[in-house]
Amino acid sequence: MKIGEFAKYLERLTKTSSRIEITKILADLFKKLSKEEVDLAVYMSLGILAPSFRGVVFNLAERMMIRTISSAYDVLAEDVVKKYKEVGDLGIVASFFAKQKKSSLSIREVYEKLFKIASLEGDGSVEKKISETARLLRNLDPLSACYVVRIPIGRLRLGFSDKTVIDALSFFEVKDKSKSKKLEAAYQVFPDLGKIASAVKKVGIDKAVKNIFPEIGTPVFPMLAQRLKSADEIIKKMGQVAVEPKFDGLRVQIHYQDGLCTKAFTRNLNDVKEMFPELVNIGKYLKAASAILDSEAVGLDAVTMQMVEFQKTMARRRKHDILKFAVQTPVTFQIFDVILLNGISVMGQSYISRREILKRIIRPNDIFVVDDYFLTNNPDEVRSKHKEFLEKGLEGAMIKRADSNYVPGRTGWRWIKMKEVEEASGKLADTVDCVIMGYSQGRGKRSVFGIGQFLAGIKSSGKFLTITKVGTGLTDEQFKELQKRLSNLVIKKKPVGYEVHKDLEPDFWVLPKVVVEIAADELTKSPKHSAGLALRFPRLVSFREDKSADQATTLKEIQNLYRIQKR
């Protein structure tokens, strides 16, 4: 397919707000694409060149794209800036200056050029990226230039998510969403939509999903816990359970092969192996050729060897001298599950079986520690262990059904987290992971920060619904951190998928990139917040760098928290 025809599909998607219509347009696009290019089209339609865990990024800021457009069309940078201020979209700016011509380039040719540009590194790489991108733009028609420009700067906003692509693949084959669940289950195990689309195009959905298994180097979406407050209800729903300690650490999925840690993924599928030099020696402690392990990386105080808070562990990300920092705050990996062993998936085995595997393959040591667990079907014993963990300074207990398989995502009553002692109704049982949707200008002493309060929301079927505004209880450092994180995400128009009451609209809209952990006294019904509920007395707990917007708390979870609170 020529890039010009592909751009016309992207234009149709941009002008469509109905999710079902977007799904049908994508399904039609998949029919027209060849099996050799469908993966590339999927990536580009999502505004990427590869899944996030592959680490392919442009690092081309808007100011660099302004120079690129100036060079491509031989116009003054001042004129590009002027037009940008007028329309607020560099893609539209590029289409305005582009020559009216028909491009002969195919999707593959454009993709390969973009991938080559993104891969440029070292001295002079920025200038090379600008010149090569300018050369590509000169060979594109105005509409194609518009959409190609938006990809490097992360502004290809077409109003759909990975889930919509999954639905579209089902529509492509059976004209409805009846095979979406099969595809989504496969995607949770192998989150590369391009490769999945290519397999579907080649052999069909049924054969494609049967051939998808965990793979070293490709993250599996982690299994997540539900929330319940009562130990009696937990036993009633789950039967025999294992009670584990819940640590305040960073969830890390360790990929191991031939004596080496090849990758280490967070919950949002980012590779953080470089954060943890401790992983270099993992081969000494594992009796396996290959494995994927689920763990919690817990920071320790180097003097007292007591556990430190999550944010101190995460501070390694912002340190250049990682080895020095690793001495100051060493880490233990609390290993609590196994997904793959010697090339064979063990996700279908029971919790008890997977725990037996961990006992066999990990040698005793102080860095890679297999979590203890306690089996019971007695609510009083659950309460007792939970209280014991809290008294030790842990977050509480993780309760896991003894016969459960490893199932990515938050489904069924397989894992439950308890973070508070059982109390009377009216107390919020857990924190909430919210996406920052916008912020308002600071006034008075906050004017120096540029932020007075931020609007936060939760996830619901591809949309973001407001649930609170947070502006009190933040330290000066937190306000500064907010400004730093949000300033590059500001956009002129409300993003597609944001549902916000007019009375709650912020001064500045931001892209849904920053996830924050919010604590509150309780949930109350709200006529204005689009979630239908609001957090009362919200407090910023932490920035969740390990989570993406797709992993924010969902409306269903919030409604469940509200029900728990009322008991």
CB proximity list for 315: less than 8 A, separation 6 or greater: 325, 329
* Catalytic-labelled residue, pool 179, 201, 246, 400: 246
- Judge whether 40 and 29 are in contact, CB under 8 Å: no
Q: Which residues are registered as beta bridge partners of 453?
A: 440
Distance CA 416, CA 241 (A): 10
Is residue 45 within 8 A of residue 185, CB to CB? The reply is no
Nearest to 454 by CA among 476, 482, 484: 482
Q: Are 329 and 301 in contact (CB under 8 A)?
A: yes
d(CA 223, CA 176): 28
* Cα–Cα distance measured from residue 552 to residue 187, given in angstroms and rounded to the nearest whole number: 18
Long-range contacts: 381-388, Cβ < 8 Å, 24+?
A: 381/243, 382/231, 382/234, 382/235, 382/241, 382/243, 382/418, 383/231, 383/422, 385/243, 386/231, 386/243, 386/418, 386/421, 387/421
What letters, b where the CB count within 10 A reaches 16 and e where it falls short, cover 45-66?
bbbbbbbebeeeebebeeebbb
Three-state DSSP state, 128: helix
Q: Is 73 left (phi over 0), alpha (psi -120 to 50) or beta?
A: alpha
The terminus-to-terminus CA distance of the chain in angstroms comes to: 58
Q: At what angle do helices 3-14 and 19-32 cross, to 10 degrees?
A: 170
The CA distance from 353 to 287, in Å, is 17
Of 227, 218, 216, 168, the C-alpha closest to 188 is 218
Assess whether 246 carries a catalytic annotation.
yes
Q: What are phi and psi of 324, to 5 degrees?
A: -65, -40
DSSP 554: B
Give the tokens for residue 554.
């969902």
Query: Cα 401 vs. chain centroid, distance in angstroms?
Result: 26
Helix (H, G, I), strand (E, B) or coil at 226: strand
Catalytic residues: 246
